[in-house]
Amino acid sequence: MRDWKGIIFDLDGVLLSTDHFHYLAWKALADRLGIPFDEKKNDLLRGVSRMDSLEIILGERSDEFSPEEKLAFATEKNLTYRSYLQTLTPEFVSPEVPETLQKLRDSGLRLAVGSSSKNTPLILEKTDLRKYFDAVSDGNNITKSKPDPEVFLKAAQFIGLDPSECVVVEDADSGIEAAKRGGFYAISIGDSVTNGLDDRHINSLVELL
Ligand code: BG6
Ligand code: MG
């Protein structure tokens, strides 16, 4: 790999499998509304903001509901999701994740989180992962969600680096697109990225070493 100065990590689905909690929480709402929803459709929501995700789930039925009802649906989903997050502990994270983050830090790289989620602070606290990062850019400091590059551009700014000096690690098509639009080197992880925009693919964070 090139001589990178920083790595920006997506959170859900990259550092830990909270993506499955998102799925379970949306599934509960979709079932209640009688809307078909499965893990494949859930892949379309990766990296996408809460309200945009709701629109994707409602699909053709979106017009049936008022903005107030939609807000209530999103709140309902988030409450279910947060009840799963309350069960998080440091042990929920694969041991190779903190080990790899520590080694990357020791090698002099600056590390940041770049996530669309407004629940990022809670997740980092429950899992004790916050200490590995020089900065966190998340759903609380952006106005445009992935595939807009804003969250990664802010992350790079927070760690004082230019996008050309940073790698982004992502599990979502929307995140890979955001990284490329922002001028970052984009690494995909897992099997959900299908848009072919990634510069490289890895199966485990250990491969970053
Ligand atoms: C992303 C997830 O990290 O955060 C998306 O991949 C999710 O699925 C988005 O919709 C927003 O999350 P939250 O926690 O703010 O509802
Ligand atoms: Mg993700």
| Statement to judge: residues 135 and 38 lie in one domain | no
The pTM (predicted TM-score) of the whole model is 0.96
pLDDT in tens, 62-97: 999 999 999 999 999 999 999 999 999 999 999 999
Q: How far is the CA of 104 from the centre of ligand 2 (A)?
A: 20
Q: Is the peptide bond before 147 cis (omega within 30 degrees of 0)?
A: yes
Q: Given 10, 19, 138, 173, which residue is catalytic?
A: 10
Contact of 123 with 85, CB cutoff 8 Å: yes
Q: Given 3, 12, 43, 106, which residue is catalytic?
A: 12
| Statement to judge: residues 119 and 193 lie in one domain | yes
Q: Is 12 designated active site? A: yes
Spatial distance between the Cα atoms of 114 and 90, rounded to a whole number of angstroms: 20
Q: What pLDDT score does 3 carry?
A: 84
Ligand 1: residue whose CA is nearest its atom 16? 50
Instruction: Identify the domain boundary among 64, 85, 106.
Output: 85
In a domain, 1, yes or no: no
pLDDT in tens, 89-121: 999 999 999 999 999 999 999 999 999 999 999
Number of C-alpha atoms within 13 angstroms, CB side, residue 188?
22
Q: Is 10 designated active site? A: yes
pLDDT in tens, 115-169: 999 999 999 999 999 999 999 999 999 999 999 999 999 999 999 999 999 999 9
Residue 124 belongs to domain spanning: 6-16+94-208
| Statement to judge: residues 98 and 187 lie in one domain | yes
